[in-house]
Amino acid sequence: MIINSLKHKSEVKYIGTSLLVSGGVALYASHQGSVAAAQKAPSSLDTSTFMAAPVTELSDLEGKPHDMRTKMELMIMRIQSEFCRALEVEEGEGCKFTVDKWRRHNPSEGGGVTCVLQDGKTFEKAGVNITVMTAPLSKELQASMRARGKKLPEDKKFSFFAAGISSVIHPRNPHWWFGGGTDLTPYYLDEGDVKLFHGVLKSACDRHHPDYYSRFKKWCDDYFFVKFRGESGGPEEKLSKI
């Protein structure tokens, strides 16, 4: 799914195959409880449009506003909210996302926010989820990293941080199917959709480096290639023939 998210109250577009959603960011009644909980204590961070309070304590985020971990968590929280609101606008009245904020078995290692919309007129089921976690780096992973050339001192302990957003969307229309980050797996192939999908990906990559699209596309082609069938697992092979 290619996401071009703009600031609050601006037009927000989510483009992938033949779906185009436009709409402002709004706070729906179904989410007021979770958002209000995030605002009980005065904060310099505006979390009013998030689907739930951030996974990390607000005081920790406020204390490190320029830290990449803080920027990443706030960014995916914002994208999750904008994405969910746009899907709710597309779905129409009567069907909203339910929100589940959860913690790992060891709460100090983080958690996530799961948002699910189901049994709608447009979407059979849609999930937009984020995870923010940090945990000790196991000895097995350290050994694997050293085997690949990473220099890690044997006498030190290490931890890792991971934060991400994922979406899986099942519209009732069988021509559409969205999953993961940027994969396209339609039930019925539409060449126009494939061209649009790759065109938006290339435009996004070209904004950063002219070689990114060809380099990253090769990675994806190799990853999704089904060896025993001798073909790609997605529409990339078809694209090469268009």
The pTM of the full predicted model, rounded to 2 decimals, is 0.61
Most confident of 38-42, 110-114, 158-162: 110-114
Q: Which residue has the higher pLDDT, 42 or 217?
A: 217
The tens digit of pLDDT for each residue in 147-190 reads 888 888 888 888 889 999 999 888 888 776 665 456 666 667 78
What percentage of residues in the chain have a pLDDT greater than 70? 73
Using alpha carbons only, give the angle 195, 225, 1 rounded to the nearest 5 degrees.
40
Question: What is the C-alpha to C-alpha distance for residues 148 and 142, in angstroms, rounded to an integer?
Answer: 10
Q: Which of 124, 22, 117 is nearest to 14 (CA)?
A: 22
Q: Which of 74-78, 84-88, 131-135, 150-154 has the lowest mean pLDDT?
A: 150-154
pLDDT, residue 28, reads: 25
**Would you state the structure tokens that stand for residue 194, as one six-digit string?**
């494939």
End-to-end CA distance of the chain: 21
Using alpha carbons only, give the angle 82, 88, 94 rounded to the nearest 5 degrees.
150
* Contact assessment for residue 46 and residue 203, using Cβ atoms and an 8 Å cutoff: no
**Would you state the structure tokens that stand for residue 226, as one six-digit string?**
């089904």
**Which band of pLDDT confidence, cut at 50, 70 and 90, is reported for residue 25?**
very low
Q: Which residue has the higher pLDDT, 173 or 77?
A: 77
Say if strands 183-184 and 178-180 run parallel, antiparallel, or are unpaired.
Answer: antiparallel
Handedness of CA 84, 181, 22, 122 (dihedral sign): negative
Question: What is the C-alpha to C-alpha distance for residues 52 and 49, in angstroms, rounded to an integer?
Answer: 8
- Each domain of the chain, given as residue ranges in start order, spans 2-188, 195-242
